[in-house]
């Protein structure tokens, strides 16, 4: 049994090393009852079968959604079914991506909350390491395997989900435009995206925004599946972004309204971008 996000779920490691959770566990971990599969072009577990989530389902998640059939070491005559354990963080990703793009339904908010809890836990140690510990498989694992897993999860997943734009950034935008700001809501007007492009990404080195748009294209619904900053390199791109955001927030704080901000921003950064090179992941 594995405790994940406050939920006890069943898991296993197969003889080929594949980490498995039971089909029931997939629903238990997100705190919702299991329902029949929905067929919308492909067969998915119902937890990802809602129409508003389908634009966020990628080939990797489709692969994880294929049932894995296996026999238990304690009851070899009973055929069991499960999923690759990586389906858990993959499901979290589509709910969080949908939330970021304001595509989530009110009935799905509880799953979004649980996805946040789970993804933060997995960012620390990784789903494979947790399953290994719960099943005792760590005794057969190479001595440095856990550290390898930790490095991989922390450098990739944590970077992917860490928020790069502090709340203060949004508070100041609302103040400059004299909009009412709700600190408990993650939904923002679509113009916020244009503001971020104009005053953040367009002021990064030449070519960066175009490359980000290329790597992070819009889907059929007109939304992007990821945030642009998730494609910046951790050693150069992210530090550059964070320093620029800090500067922009300072200019916001010194400005009374959006017109004054535009004037102050131009005084500091000028109308033209520099021609430095900035690496992406």
Instruction: Yes or no: say if 211 and 280 are a contact pair by the CB < 8 Å rule.
Output: yes
The length of the chain in residues reads 281
Q: Model-level pTM?
A: 0.46
DSSP 129-182: HHHHHHHTGGGTS-TTHHHHHHHHHIIIIIHHHS--S-HHHHHHHHHHTT----
Phi, psi (deg, nearest 5) at residue 39: -110, 105
H-type alpha helices, the chain: 23-28, 59-64, 87-100, 109-125, 127-135, 145-153, 159-161, 167-176, 191-199, 208-215, 237-253, 258-269
Distance CA 238, CA 229 (A): 7
How confident is the prediction along the chain (281 residues), in pLDDT tens digits per residue? 877 766 777 888 888 888 898 888 888 888 776 654 444 445 667 778 788 888 888 888 888 888 899 888 776 678 888 899 889 888 998 899 888 888 888 888 888 888 887 777 676 666 666 677 677 665 555 545 544 543 443 344 444 544 577 888 999 999 999 999 887 666 788 888 889 889 988 887 777 788 888 877 888 777 777 777 777 776 677 788 888 999 999 999 999 999 999 999 999 988 754 434 444 44
């Amino acid at each position: 049994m594995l405790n994940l996000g406050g939920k006890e779920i069943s898991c296993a490691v197969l003889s080929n090393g594949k980490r498995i959770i039971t089909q029931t566990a997939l629903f238990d971990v997100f705190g919702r009852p299991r329902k029949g599969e929905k067929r919308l072009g492909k067969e998915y577990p119902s937890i990802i079968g809602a129409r508003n989530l389908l634009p966020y389902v990628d080939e990797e998640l489709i692969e994880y959604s294929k049932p894995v059939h296996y026999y238990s070491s304690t009851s070899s005559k009973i055929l069991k079914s499960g999923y690759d354990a990586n389906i858990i963080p993959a499901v979290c990703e589509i709910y969080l991506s949908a939330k970021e793009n304001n595509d989530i339904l009110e009935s799905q908010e509880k799953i979004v909350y649980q996805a946040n809890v789970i993804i933060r836990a997995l960012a620390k140690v990784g789903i494979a390491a947790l399953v290994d510990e719960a099943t005792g498989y760590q005794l057969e694992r190479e001595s440095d395997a856990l550290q390898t897993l930790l490095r991989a999860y922390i450098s990739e997943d944590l970077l992917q989900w860490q928020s790069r734009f502090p709340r203060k950034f949004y508070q100041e935008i609302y103040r400059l435009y004299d909009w009412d700001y709700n600190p408990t809501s993650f939904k923002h007007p679509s113009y916020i995206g244009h503001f971020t492009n104009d005053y953040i990404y367009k002021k990064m080195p030449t070519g960066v925004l175009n490359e980000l748009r290329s790597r992070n294209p819009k889907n059929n619904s007109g939304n992007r599946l990821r945030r642009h900053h998730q494609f910046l390199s951790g050693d150069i791109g992210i530090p550059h972004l964070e320093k620029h955001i800090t500067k922009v927030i300072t200019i916001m704080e010194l400005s009374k309204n959006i017109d004054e901000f535009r004037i102050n921003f131009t005084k500091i950064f000028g109308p033209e971008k520099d021609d430095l090179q900035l690496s992406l992941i």
